[in-house]
């Protein structure tokens, strides 16, 4: 039974109230886990008791409603096991593994060595790192090979870039990520791949992998204007339309415009994107002002800017850009910054995909991204 005061808090202040409610619930979950593991309730004297309680250890857990301060039960004789921190532990272990792997290979910076020292893991052996890596590799493989069970109407593709050690030198590699909106309105991260670049070959390989796992129902693919993506989409998704991300279009045009005119031209592009008849006027204006490359860019993509309008108006705002994936890329950058450069492709995938699993699980437990009833 939920305590009355928690329900009252929730009615007064839903944000803090939900946080308190979730804290109470997860602490309760761990209490039940503890009772099952030692086969006894708190203070219960029974012969079947397997261990004795030894207070609590406070631990934090980051959730969509903020950071929770939880009380993790402790036992004297055996370690307490809980599933509450599984998500947290997965990313944490992947991060530590990448750091220690760099450290053991002797390619770490002074900053990495300081972090290793502060983590208290100087004595981690190569075999320990290998064991952690094996566990993470299994989780990554399981996630990337799982069947795609729902038809996907909208497909978003994008890439971000990371430093990875290859053949004793550091190179920049692309991390290709594919996100979809399912027929039930939920978002799902469908696939990811570390690659030498964004050529058609790499994207086609990833799209084929998705098809082999059951991808179907794709109506619209949204991405930036990279030629490799466009060619791969054309060949892999016959009958689907390609949508040029409006945010990336603005950036592409402005690259060929003097900086002092960026705001003015950006505002005009946004107006043109709302009214197709104004696009040709803007192309002519750009040419007249000597910005022929900017005009060519707008002309090149003009027939791929409004495909999103073939779908429900309620979906337009979210299917004309790759903003959802941009946020994922920012999170990947933020949470991998401490590593800096990765010692191998596998090391990056352990951490990168662990972060994607974390995000995907959050999506599956929150409200739908789109209402598909209007589609």
For 53-186, where are the E strands, in sequence order?
53-63, 66-75, 152-166, 169-182
- The confidence score (pLDDT) of residue 65 equals 63
Give the DSSP H or E segment for 336.
helix 323-336
Q: Which residue has the tokens 């204007």?
A: 225
- For residue 58, list its beta bridge partners: 71
Give the DSSP H or E segment for 328.
helix 323-336
Query: Domain extents for the chain?
Result: 4-82, 142-245+321-374
Distance of CA 188 to the CA centre of its chain: 10
Q: Which residue has the tokens 């098809």?
A: 211
Contact partners, residue 320, CB within 8 Å, separation at least 6: 222, 243, 245, 246, 308
Burial 80-107 (b: 16+ CB within 10 A, else e): bebebbebeebbebbbbbbbbbbbbeee
Give the DSSP H or E segment for 139.
helix 126-145
- The confidence score (pLDDT) of residue 103 equals 47
- The confidence score (pLDDT) of residue 154 equals 98
- The confidence score (pLDDT) of residue 36 equals 82
Q: Which residue has the tokens 């069970």?
A: 149
SS3 159: strand
What is the DSSP-derived secondary structure letter of residue 117? Answer: H
Distance of CA 16 to the CA centre of its chain: 26
Q: How far apart are CA 266 and CA 356, in angstroms?
A: 32
* Environment class of 42 (CB within 10 Å of its CB; exposed 0-12, middle 13-18, buried 19+): exposed
Taking only the tens of pLDDT, the chain with its 375 residues reads: 556 565 555 455 556 666 776 788 778 878 888 888 888 777 677 767 777 877 888 888 776 567 788 888 888 888 888 877 766 566 666 666 666 555 445 445 555 455 555 444 444 555 656 666 777 788 889 999 999 999 999 999 999 999 998 888 889 999 999 999 999 999 999 999 999 999 999 999 999 999 999 999 999 999 999 999 999 999 999 999 999 999 999 999 999 999 999 999 999 999 999 888 889 899 999 999 999 999 999 999 988 999 999 999 999 999 999 999 988 999 888 878 777 788 889 888 988 898 898 889 888 878 899 998 755
Cα maximum dimension of the chain: 90
Contact partners, residue 316, CB within 8 Å, separation at least 6: 308, 309
What is the DSSP-derived secondary structure letter of residue 319? Answer: H
Residue (of 178, 257, 181) closest to 223 by Cα position: 178
Residue 180 contacts residue 155 (beta carbons within 8 Å): yes
- The confidence score (pLDDT) of residue 209 equals 97
What is the DSSP-derived secondary structure letter of residue 316? Answer: H
Instruction: Name the CATH architecture for the domain at 142-245+321-374.
Output: 2-Layer Sandwich (3.30)
DSSP 253-315: HHTTS-GGGHHHHHHHHHHHHH-THHHHHHHHHHHHTT-HHHHHHHHHHGGGSSGGGGS-GGG
């Amino acid at each position: 039974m939920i305590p009355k005061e928690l329900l009252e808090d929730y009615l007064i202040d839903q944000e803090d109230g939900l946080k308190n409610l979730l804290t109470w619930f997860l602490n309760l979950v761990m209490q039940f886990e503890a009772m099952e593991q030692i086969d006894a309730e708190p203070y219960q004297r029974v012969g079947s008791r397997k261990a004795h309680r030894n207070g609590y250890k406070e631990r934090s857990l980051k959730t969509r409603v903020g950071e929770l301060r939880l009380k993790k039960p402790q036992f004297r004789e055996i370690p307490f096991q809980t599933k509450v921190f599984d998500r947290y532990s997965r990313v944490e272990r992947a991060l530590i593994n990448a750091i220690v792997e760099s450290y053991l290979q002797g390619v770490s910076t002074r900053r990495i060595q300081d972090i290793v020292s502060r983590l208290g893991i100087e004595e981690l052996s190569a075999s320990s790192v290998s064991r952690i890596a094996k566990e993470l590799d299994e989780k990554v493989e399981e996630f990337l090979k799982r069947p795609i069970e729902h038809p996907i109407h909208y497909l978003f593709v994008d890439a971000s870039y990371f430093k990875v050690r290859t053949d004793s030198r550091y190179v920049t590699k692309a991390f290709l990520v594919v996100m979809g909106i399912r027929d039930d309105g939920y978002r799902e991260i469908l696939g990811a791949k570390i690659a030498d670049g964004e050529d058609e070959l790499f994207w086609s390989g990833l799209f084929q992998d998705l098809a082999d796992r059951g991808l179907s129902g794709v109506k619209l693919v949204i991405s930036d204007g990279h030629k490799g993506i466009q060619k791969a989409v054309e060949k892999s998704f016959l009958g689907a339309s390609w949508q040029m991300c409006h945010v990336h279009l603005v950036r592409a045009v402005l690259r060929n415009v003097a900086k002092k005119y960026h705001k003015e031209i950006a505002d005009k592009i946004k107006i043109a994107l709302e009214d197709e008849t104004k696009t040709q006027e803007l192309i002519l204006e750009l040419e007249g002002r000597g910005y022929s490359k900017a005009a060519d860019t707008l002309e090149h993509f003009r027939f791929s800017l409004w495909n999103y309008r073939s779908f429900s108006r309620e979906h337009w705002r979210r299917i004309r850009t790759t903003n959802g994936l941009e946020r994922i890329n920012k999170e990947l950058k933020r949470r991998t910054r401490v590593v800096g450069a990765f010692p191998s492709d596998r090391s990056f995938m352990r951490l990168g995909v662990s972060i994607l699993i974390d995000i995907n699980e959050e999506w599956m437990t929150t409200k739908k991204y789109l209402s598909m009833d209007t589609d």
